Amino acid sequence: MAVEGNERGKAPAVDEPTVAVLGLPGFQLLEVSEFDGELEYLVETTDTLVGCQRCGTIARPKDRREVVLRDLAHADRPVRIRWRKRVWCCVDPDCPAKTWTEASWLAEPRRHLTNRARTEICRRVGQENASVALCARNFGVGWHAAWAAVTDIGTPLADDPERLEGVRAVGLDETMYLHARRGRRRVLVTGVVDVDTGRLLDVFIGREAADLRRWMATMPPPWLDRIEVVSVDPHEGYRSAVVGADPATGRRSPWGHVTVVVDPFHLVRLANQAVTKTRQRVQQEALGHRGWKDDPLYGIRRLLLVGAERLGERGWARIHDGLERGDALDEVTEAWIAKEKLRDVYLTDDLAIATARLDDAIAFTSASKVKEVKTLAKALCRWRTEILAHHTTGASNGPTEAVNLTIKSVKRCGRGFRNFNNYRLRLLLVAGVRWQTQPVTRLRARPRLIARKGGGHGRGGQAA
């Protein structure tokens, strides 16, 4: 399709629906060609009357300069836009402006991607956790151009203070960032999660008290004040920074007022670990090797971690049989009972009942001779208040764990990260930003497919 360029006035009427469909307001489409499965639009702006940026005199069109941009795909075909940019010049010989090239909403100067293509790359990387390399390939640009789109558009989204609004309870949990290598210790990062919505609020390097204090110092004090509950895994570093004063300055913690909760997930995991460690030690001591397929304890290694109320008749029979043959001193049995007693704490919402059950679990584990169970007893004593706080606040770190899974998938998708700031941005875009995309009407609803005159350009894929 070729349409005469019209220098004086409006673009020809026939072109308006086309421009609306393509979402190119302010442009006229001169030509569409297709080769090798790619579409190419030849366009120019409809501006014909432009004032000089410096003196305001009506400018004179001087020249055309063509730029080629990569745009959003259209009807499954990659799109190139060939934009015949106007070069204007000022007619006033004394004006310092001389000549300039026109600008438009379509693309920033010297970019190879249109703004909406860049927004789409950022959205895919964030909302869909697509890899930057894949986006770069899809848009026919280099990795750096695609990543620049992610940082330019994503950073304001990640830094938006509105993201932090309305948070009442946060969860802290660590994930691996870099594994240990020769000459480098492993690096852990802490994720800060809004426990009520499961959104990632921030990540920082480290998981010790000093790391958490450093991060708190970067957060707005009124925001820290509004937090009521902090949910942690049973790790002393977090608790001492949340509750205790800074040993370096003696200043009280900005979170001195919050209720610290140890969440059920981590506690049950601790109890499960006690069962597994006991089983492995007993196995090793009795048979002199790690579990083999037909060893009695090895055969029930997973069943031992299943909650008692979920064991069927066959499960019970297998556990009894396995323990009878492999657990001569009843050590694994004891660890298993300890785990079940701890799980019982969470089978009630009643604080008094939960307290009684926890104290029963503490008494049982403290009296045990099994060293793994004794270790568990120590943890239960140390965290008794925080364990019971679960029943008063109802806070759980479950959402934090869900975010941890997302974090792992981001890491896999990024094939490992070396730059922490890039890593943080990726994580926040995937797990911390609410993506608002154009809602799609149901197909059976009222049809609205008539392109309006001078219709606005498409809003699909725009991040807000």
Cα separations (Å) of 75 from 72, 254, 423?
10, 54, 33
Chosen residue from 95, 178, 356, 413 binding Zn ion by CB under 5 A: 95
Cα separations (Å) of 356 from 263, 386, 455?
18, 15, 68
CB-nearer residue toward Zn ion: 101 or 366: 101
CB-nearer residue toward Zn ion: 63 or 236: 63
Chosen residue from 21, 32, 55, 243 binding Zn ion by CB under 5 A: 55
Question: In the beta sheet, which residues pair with residue 228?
Answer: none
State in angstroms the smallest separation of the CB of 87 from Zn ion. 14
Please give the residues from 330 up to 369 whose contact with Zn ion meets the rule CB under 5 A.
none
Examine residue 90 and tell whether it contacts Zn ion (CB under 5 A): yes
Q: Which stretch binds Zn ion (CB under 5 A): 52-60, 78-86, 145-153, 186-194?
A: 52-60
CB-nearer residue toward Zn ion: 57 or 409: 57
Encoded tokens for 421: 């700031």
CB-nearer residue toward Zn ion: 49 or 352: 49
CB-nearer residue toward Zn ion: 51 or 307: 51
In terms of phi and psi (left: phi > 0; alpha: psi -120 to 50; beta: otherwise), the region of 183 is left
State in angstroms the smallest separation of the CB of 8 from Zn ion. 23
CB-nearer residue toward Zn ion: 54 or 252: 54
State in angstroms the smallest separation of the CB of 104 from Zn ion. 20
Chosen residue from 54, 60, 64, 452 binding Zn ion by CB under 5 A: 54
Encoded tokens for 69: 């941009």
State in angstroms the smallest separation of the CB of 51 from Zn ion. 8
Q: Which stretch binds Zn ion (CB under 5 A): 86-94, 147-155, 270-278, 364-372?
A: 86-94
Of residues 166, 173, 191, 196, the one with CA closest to residue 393: 196
For tokens 């989204």, name the residue.
157
State in angstroms the smallest separation of the CB of 97 from Zn ion. 4
Question: HEC profile for 333-397?
Answer: HHHHHHHHHHHHHCCCCCHHHHHHHHHHHHHHHHHCCCHHHHHHHHHHHHCHHHHHHHHHHCCCC
Amino acid at 313: E
Chosen residue from 52, 107, 342, 373 binding Zn ion by CB under 5 A: 52
CB-nearer residue toward Zn ion: 55 or 219: 55
Q: Which stretch binds Zn ion (CB under 5 A): 1-9, 92-100, 154-162, 165-173?
A: 92-100
CB-nearer residue toward Zn ion: 100 or 298: 100
Of residues 393, 391, 336, the one with CA closest to residue 365: 336
Q: Which stretch binds Zn ion (CB under 5 A): 53-61, 109-117, 126-134, 415-423?
A: 53-61
Encoded tokens for 64: 């055309």
State in angstroms the smallest separation of the CB of 106 from Zn ion. 25
Q: Which stretch binds Zn ion (CB under 5 A): 84-92, 369-377, 413-421, 435-443?
A: 84-92
CB-nearer residue toward Zn ion: 53 or 438: 53
Burial category of 68 from C-beta neighbours within 10 Å (exposed 0-12, middle 13-18, buried 19 and up): exposed
Of residues 133, 118, 178, the one with CA closest to residue 414: 133
Q: Which stretch binds Zn ion (CB under 5 A): 93-101, 213-221, 253-261, 413-421?
A: 93-101
Please give the residues from 22 up to 51 whose contact with Zn ion meets the rule CB under 5 A.
none
Q: Which stretch binds Zn ion (CB under 5 A): 21-29, 94-102, 250-258, 268-276?
A: 94-102
**Residues 6 or more apart in contact with residue 336 via CB below 8 angstroms:** 275, 304, 323
State in angstroms the smallest separation of the CB of 49 from Zn ion. 15
Chosen residue from 67, 89, 97, 148 binding Zn ion by CB under 5 A: 97
Size of the site for Zn ion (CB under 5 A): 7
**Residues 6 or more apart in contact with residue 319 via CB below 8 angstroms:** 300, 303, 304, 311
Q: Which stretch binds Zn ion (CB under 5 A): 79-87, 95-103, 105-113, 224-232?
A: 95-103
State in angstroms the smallest separation of the CB of 405 from Zn ion. 59
Burial category of 397 from C-beta neighbours within 10 Å (exposed 0-12, middle 13-18, buried 19 and up): buried
Name the 3-class secondary structure at 310. Answer: helix
Of residues 442, 411, 438, the one with CA closest to residue 426: 411
State in angstroms the smallest separation of the CB of 50 from Zn ion. 11
Examine residue 88 and tell whether it contacts Zn ion (CB under 5 A): no
CB-nearer residue toward Zn ion: 54 or 137: 54
For the chain, state the CA radius of gyration. 31
In terms of phi and psi (left: phi > 0; alpha: psi -120 to 50; beta: otherwise), the region of 332 is alpha
Burial category of 188 from C-beta neighbours within 10 Å (exposed 0-12, middle 13-18, buried 19 and up): middle
State in angstroms the smallest separation of the CB of 19 from Zn ion. 30
CB-nearer residue toward Zn ion: 59 or 192: 59
Cα separations (Å) of 124 from 150, 169, 404?
9, 29, 20
Q: Which residues bind Zn ion (CB under 5 A)?
A: 52, 54-55, 90, 92, 95, 97
